[in-house]
Chains A and B, each alone.
Chain A
Amino acid sequence: MAISTATKAATDALAANPAPVSVGAQEVHRWMQSFTWDFDKNRTKYSTKYKMANDTKEQFKLIAKEYARMESVKDERQFGSLQDVLTRVDAANRVHPKWNESMKVISNFLEVGEYNAIAATGMLWDSATAPEQKNGYLGQVLDEIRHTNQCAYINYYFAKQGQDAAGHNDARRTRAIGPLWKGMKRVFSDGFISGDAVECSINLQLVGEACFTNPLIVAVTEWASANGDEMTPTVFLSIETDELRHMANGYQTVVSIANDEAASKYLNTDLNNAFWTQQKYFTPVLGMMFEYGSHFKVEPWVKTWNRWVYEDWGGIWIGRLGKYGVESPRSLRDAKKDAYWAHHDLFLIAYALWPTGFFRLSLPTQEEADWYEANYPGWYDMYGKVYDEWRARGCEDPSSGFLPIQWFIENNHPIYIDRVSQVPFCPSYCKGESTLRVLEYNGKKHSFSDQWGERMWLSEPERYECQNIFEQYEGRELSEVIAEGFGLRSDGKTLISQPHTKKDGKLWTLDDIKRINCVFSDPLKAL
């Protein structure tokens, strides 16, 4: 059309219809796929054995400004609730103390996952070639920043408003002392960002998000609310609204490589490894946080696990990907066995190492013991009687001179750490599936607790070289390690961690620990 005709047409159009016109997000988004162009060096900086298709679409079709609008609406609602009514009713002081302690760990550890997901999805934004697929990952980059800030907000809120700020106020500094931290880094940090880009996507989106954020983010809100905590549901459910988009990204990742030959060779192995990696930590840790970190129970963890991990994820979600050749992981059956006892095994160890935490732990009460026995027959004979013995020896009392870790030593039950998952296990005293395997490589001994991790290590030992806490602390006295890791409250002498949450119970100090003279040793050296 000639230029002058176009101007005339614009004038005529206006005369005929002067209705206001704007531009919608979808009208812009439909051009996104054409925003890129071909050039020599246009390739990802992160290698992957898969090839992601150039024409991959995304489901959510957001542009930057529309993304911001949607998120800010959710923010207003969420922060409005927290800052207004929940503060006025003093909600943080109406949470059961045991749950107040659990949120120190849950929110901070989830924050690590969210934080690393920023970098992980940055990598995927780089690896994808289709602009729409890049855009999907970009949206997730921003979401994960949001979630990092939101998780932080929980600790920030509990510190400012709640009953025990210690740990909430410095989790980012004190979390590195204890036995749960390195394993958390494997699943939530390095597992998302270090490896083949698609393998990382499988870890983050296909397993971490699609499989475990349901139990983690949704189930946690039910446990929280039962225990008086309305802050966590307010924030976590708002996080969950973004997660749908992330699971869709994971789905699209698989779709984008489905026609690639490499997928038929490697995809199921990568999925199996990712599933085992994630479940190895989350199955016991989530179960432990829920059941042992609460007073009021929602349902036995094994039921939640079967419903969400085994049936919904292993069955339905993976089933939907069946047409792309994806199969249920082979390790799912072993994981199912672990879902029954692994969290009980882990709590025994976590409680025994309580001084290295940044939270207070509690022994199961009589009514809890009854609940465990009813839901996990055989619980008392294995665990309950040990807790009774520890309690009788005064493990909660600072003047007793007794730390439960001594019980493991006295009874010759060494605690090892699995090199690949970094999860501690006690092969001679457990009901879960862990068995001890020791291998030597480059003059160094490595312990493993299961065949799946051992296989990963055997094929690529250079990926799993991280020293564990026993190697790191070997020969050092416990109170020294705690002081160095800033495990003290603001009075400079009382521990942040405590072996009870009793209102009138005495609090342990660094001197109480020092008197016991507990020195770390590396169990691998004794082999």
Chain B
Amino acid sequence: MTIEVNGGRRGLTDPEIAAVIMAAVPDKPLETQRKMNYFMKPRGKRINEYEVLCCYSQPTPDWIPGGLDWGDWTQKFHGGRPSWSNESTEMRSSDWLAHRDPAFRWHALYVKDKAEEWRYTDRFLKAYSADGHVRSIDPVWRDEVLGDYLGAFGFYEYGLFNSHSSVVRDCLGDTLRMSSAMIGLDKVDNAQMIQAERTFLSKLVPGFPESTDIPKQEWTKGAIFKGARELVQDIWQATYDWNEILFSGHMICDPIFGQFVRREFFMRLSSYYGDNLTPFFINQMQLYFSQTKGITTDMFHTCLGADVEFGDYNNRLMRAWANKWLPRTVNALKDFMAIYATIPEIKGVSDKAAIEAALVRVFADWKRDFADPINYKVDTAALVKTVLSGLK
């Protein structure tokens, strides 16, 4: 037969072509090692699918620790700056490819989860609206807090989202890059969920404004989010070290400020004000928070902090970064305390004692999960006191 086949003839199903192919295929496989990436060191007992599909996809030379390639970059920035370089971060690693998402999510697994969350969100909103839950929300909570302040908090999530762009460009490892893009997407998802909730409310409550105008005014000009806004702006645009961006955002700012606002303010209080809608969205954000925490904890504690060669140095650097970012985060939270003056107080729920207890929870969690592992000494009681001084 002729070797040029057109008209879309397929070798798998066309008998004439298939016969030629089968005559050429070896009787038994030529190679017995059938596992892709067999040469790599797995995190667990065996190389899993995530490690097969992600690890060593990055073509870095061996002078960036962990890389398998050799030599220089084939094209550089104008002026000769290299494509990727060890100088892009103050952190040191003996293997920049060591990080793993603890949930081993490659792209398909990541989007599958989020797709399910979206479908469930759609079904939930339909049931919620048909059920008339919206009637029970306290009007002040609904119009002031959800209308303005939840909307303003969306800008916090959006700003942190954008802090991941240069990390995705600059970081030195494949699993780091994929994880950073995914935790970044979760942040814009949070901002979008907040807008989705406001749009949803505007459909149910005539007159409820879905526009972002007032929230943006609150975010850019208001006192409640002033500290948070300045903090986010600096993480996003004034920080160039990609590890410092991730560390300040996910190891300091979000586990303290973000956690307090989401968990202790919106989620805990909403049900007291008859709002069962907000917890639905915040719970998704909290799921993302915990997945992100798994990822960044792996980056900074499991990999960098425990690095055989550079662990001590890295922990020292993280403590220095904590010194830089913690006071600003505390200050952001202190500014946020002004929000309590805008809502009707509920004894034992939103009074000073309850706020203090909430702050103690957040700082205790942070100390246990983020400060202690890098041996960072912190007086959480003093921090709580500083924050409380912002109460009006």
A-side residues, CB < 8 A to B, are 1, 3-7, 9-11, 13-14, 18-23, 27-28, 31-32, 34-39, 41-43, 45-46, 63-69, 71-73, 75, 79, 89, 91, 93-98, 111-112, 115-116, 118-123, 125-126, 131, 134-135, 138, 141-142, 145-146, 148-149, 152-153, 155-156, 159-160, 162-166, 168-170, 172-173, 176, 182-183, 185-186, 189-191, 193-196, 222, 225-230, 295-299, 367-368, 371, 422, 460, 462-467, 472, 486, 489-490, 501, 503, 507
- Return chain B residues, CB-CB under 8 Å to A194: 73, 75-77, 81-83
Against A, the Cβ 8 Å flags (1 = close, 0 = not) of B193-237 are: 101100110011111101111001001100000000100011001
| 30 A-B contact pairs sorted by A residue (CB < 8 Å) | A1-B207, A6-B205, A6-B207, A9-B207, A35-B158, A41-B233, A63-B189, A65-B114, A65-B121, A94-B18, A94-B25, A96-B20, A118-B178, A141-B168, A141-B181, A145-B107, A145-B178, A163-B30, A166-B33, A172-B37, A190-B73, A190-B83, A194-B76, A195-B78, A225-B10, A228-B12, A230-B12, A463-B75, A467-B71, A472-B71
Within 8 A of A (CB), among B120-141: 121-122, 125-127, 129-130, 132, 134-135, 139-140
- Complex: how many Å from CA A131 to CA B188? 11
Of the candidate stretches B49-57, B264-272, B299-307, B373-381, the one touching chain A is B49-57
Q: In whole Å, how far is A261's beta carbon from the nearest beta carbon of chain B?
A: 19
A165–B206 contact, CB under 8 A? no
- Return chain A residues, CB-CB under 8 Å to B20: 96, 295-296
Interface membership of B191, Cβ < 8 A:
yes
B206–A9 contact, CB under 8 A? yes
Considering only CB atoms, which chain B residue lies closest to A5 in the complex?
B207
- Return chain A residues, CB-CB under 8 Å to B143: 3, 6
Q: In whole Å, how far is A294's beta carbon from the nearest beta carbon of chain B?
A: 9
- Complex: how many Å from CA A228 to CA B2? 16
Task: Name the contact of A21 in the complex, choosing from B22, B129, B193 (C-beta under 8 A).
Answer: B129
Within 8 A of A (CB), among B82-129: 82-84, 106-108, 110-115, 117-119, 121-122, 125-127, 129
B56–A172 contact, CB under 8 A? yes
A69–B78 contact, CB under 8 A? no
- Return chain B residues, CB-CB under 8 Å to A229: 11-12
Q: In whole Å, how far is B246's beta carbon from the nearest beta carbon of chain A?
A: 13
Interface membership of B5, Cβ < 8 A:
yes
Q: In whole Å, how far is B137's beta carbon from the nearest beta carbon of chain A?
A: 8
A123–B169 contact, CB under 8 A? yes
Task: Name the contact of B74 in the complex, choosing from A7, A14, A75, A182 (C-beta under 8 A).
Answer: A182
**Highest count of chain A CB atoms <10 Å: which of B79, B107, B210:** B107
- Return chain B residues, CB-CB under 8 Å to A6: 139, 142-143, 205-208
17 extra interchain contacts, Cβ-Cβ under 8 A, other than A63-B189, A146-B108, A183-B74?
A7-B135, A22-B121, A27-B199, A35-B154, A45-B237, A94-B22, A97-B25, A148-B53, A164-B26, A166-B31, A169-B31, A191-B74, A193-B84, A194-B75, A194-B81, A367-B2, A489-B31
Considering only CB atoms, which chain B residue lies closest to A161 in the complex?
B34
- Complex: how many Å from CA A144 to CA B16? 38
Q: In whole Å, how far is A421's beta carbon from the nearest beta carbon of chain B?
A: 9
Considering only CB atoms, which chain A residue lies closest to B72 in the complex?
A466
Against A, the Cβ 8 Å flags (1 = close, 0 = not) of B220-264 are: 100000000100011001101000000000000000000000000
Q: In whole Å, how far is B2's beta carbon from the nearest beta carbon of chain A?
A: 8
A75–B112 contact, CB under 8 A? yes
- Which are the 8 A-B pairs with shortest beta-carbon distances? A122-B168, A228-B11, A20-B126, A68-B114, A65-B118, A1-B207, A462-B80, A126-B165
With A23-B200, A97-B24 given, is the CB distance from A13 to B206 under 8 Å?
yes
- Complex: how many Å from CA A222 to CA B24? 20
- Return chain B residues, CB-CB under 8 Å to A134: 162, 165
- Return chain A residues, CB-CB under 8 Å to B106: 145, 149
Q: In whole Å, how far is A373's beta carbon from the nearest beta carbon of chain B?
A: 13
Task: Name the contact of B185 in the complex, choosing from A13, A39, A142, A463 (C-beta under 8 A).
Answer: A142
B125–A190 contact, CB under 8 A? no
